[in-house]
C-alpha cells in the first residue's frame, strides 16, 4: 500500500497564500494597536518619586526645560512669577506640547491647542482639559519635581494612564 | 502600463518565471519583516514618543517601503508568473 501523500500547489497559489499571510499580519497588528489604545493600563507603583529637573541656573527666567516625570513628557517653565511644571502630553490626543516664548503659551502643534503657562489651563483649541500641574520644590540650587498636584485628575486623563 | 484584465490561465514557464517567483518570495519575506517592525513600533511605543516628528517620519518611511515592495510583488506576479495572453494591458 502506498502511503505517500502528494501535495500539489502552483506558484501562483503559493504567492497568494504568502501575500494573504502578510495581509493577516498587518490586520492583526492594526487590531492589536487599537486594543492597546483601548485597554486600561496599570498604575505606576513607583509614581511620584522625587525627580531632579535641573539646576536653577540652567533655567533662566523666560526659558523652559523638558523632562520626564513618571514616564510622561513634562515641561519646567521659569516664569517671572516663579517655576511652574506641567505634564506636556496634550489632553486632546496625546501629542507633546511645548513652551512657545514668543506667544507666552504652551503650544500643542498637532491641533493648535494653547495652554496658559502659569496655570496649565486651556486658552484655545480642542484640548478638553488643562495640563496636569506638577508640584516642584527648589532646594540646594536645583529644581525638583515632587508629585502631581492632583493625582485624581491625572488618573482621569487617558493619555496619562499609569502616571499616577 | 495599465492592466485591464487578468484571467486565471496557466502559469508562465522557463527560467525567467522561476527568477520572478524567487524574487516574489524574497519580497514577500521583506514585506512581512517591514509589517512586523511597523506593528511592533506602533504597539510598543508610548504615546509621548509616538507623537514625535521622528516617530511619525519613521512610520511614514516604513509604509512607503511596504507600498513599494507590494507594488513590486504585484508587478512580478503579473509579468513574471502569468502568461501574457491572459493579461490584457493598455500601453
In terms of average pLDDT, the best of A8-12, A18-22, A97-101, B63-67 is B63-67
Rounded Cα gap, residues B85 and A40, in angstroms: 56
Q: At what angle do helices B15-44 and A11-38 cross, to 10 degrees?
A: 10
H-type alpha helices, chain A: 11-38, 151-155
Contact: B52, A89; criterion CB under 8 Å: no
Contact: A11, B43; criterion CB under 8 Å: no
Instruction: Please report the beta strands in B1-91, taking only residues with DSSP state E, as ranges in sequence order.
Output: 2-6, 87-90
At residue A136, the pLDDT reads 93
What pTM did the predictor assign?
A: 0.58
List residues of A whose CB lies inside 8 A of any B CB. Answer: 10-12, 15, 18-19, 21-22, 25-26, 28-30, 32-33, 36, 71-73, 89, 93-96, 110, 159
Query: For residue B71, what is the nearest residue in chain A, using CA coordinates?
Result: A19
A66: nearest Cα among A47, A81, A51: A51
Rounded Cα gap, residues A14 and A12, in angstroms: 5
Residue B84, pLDDT above cutoff 80: no
Mean pLDDT of A54-71: 90
- For residue B38, the Cα-to-chain-centroid distance in whole angstroms is 15
At residue B13, the pLDDT reads 82
Report pLDDT digits (tens) over A121-143.
999 999 999 999 999 999 889 99
Q: What average pLDDT is seen over chain A?
A: 86
At residue B7, the pLDDT reads 65
Q: What average pLDDT is seen over chain B?
A: 83
Residue A21, pLDDT above cutoff 70: yes
At residue B87, the pLDDT reads 65
Amino acid at each position: 500500500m502506498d502511503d505517500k501523500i502528494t501535495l500539489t500547489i502552483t506558484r501562483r497559489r503559493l504567492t497568494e497564500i504568502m501575500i494573504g499571510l502578510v495581509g493577516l499580519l498587518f490586520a492583526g497588528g492594526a487590531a492589536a494597536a487599537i486594543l492597546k489604545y483601548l485597554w486600561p493600563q496599570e498604575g505606576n507603583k513607583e509614581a511620584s518619586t522625587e525627580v531632579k529637573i535641573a539646576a536653577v541656573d540652567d533655567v533662566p527666567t523666560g526659558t523652559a526645560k523638558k523632562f520626564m516625570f513618571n514616564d510622561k513628557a513634562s515641561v519646567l517653565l521659569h516664569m517671572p512669577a516663579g517655576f511652574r511644571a506641567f505634564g506636556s502630553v496634550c489632553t486632546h490626543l496625546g501629542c507633546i506640547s511645548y513652551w512657545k516664548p514668543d506667544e507666552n503659551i504652551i503650544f500643542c502643534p498637532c491641533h493648535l491647542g494653547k495652554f496658559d503657562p502659569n496655570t496649565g489651563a486651556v486658552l484655545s483649541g480642542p484640548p478638553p482639559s488643562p495640563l496636569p500641574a506638577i508640584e516642584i520644590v527648589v532646594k540646594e540650587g536645583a529644581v525638583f519635581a515632587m508629585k502631581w498636584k492632583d493625582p485624581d485628575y491625572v488618573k482621569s486623563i487617558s493619555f496619562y494612564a499609569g502616571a499616577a | 502600463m495599465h492592466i485591464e484584465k487578468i484571467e486565471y490561465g496557466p502559469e508562465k514557464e522557463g527560467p525567467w518565471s522561476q527568477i520572478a517567483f524567487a524574487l516574489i518570495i524574497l519580497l514577500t519575506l521583506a514585506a512581512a519583516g517591514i509589517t512586523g517592525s511597523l506593528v511592533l513600533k506602533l504597539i510598543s511605543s508610548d504615546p509621548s514618543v509616538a507623537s514625535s516628528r521622528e516617530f511619525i517620519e519613521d512610520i511614514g518611511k516604513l509604509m512607503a517601503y511596504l507600498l513599494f515592495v507590494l507594488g513590486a510583488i504585484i508587478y512580478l506576479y503579473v509579468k513574471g508568473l502569468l502568461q501574457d495572453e491572459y493579461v490584457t494591458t493598455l500601453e
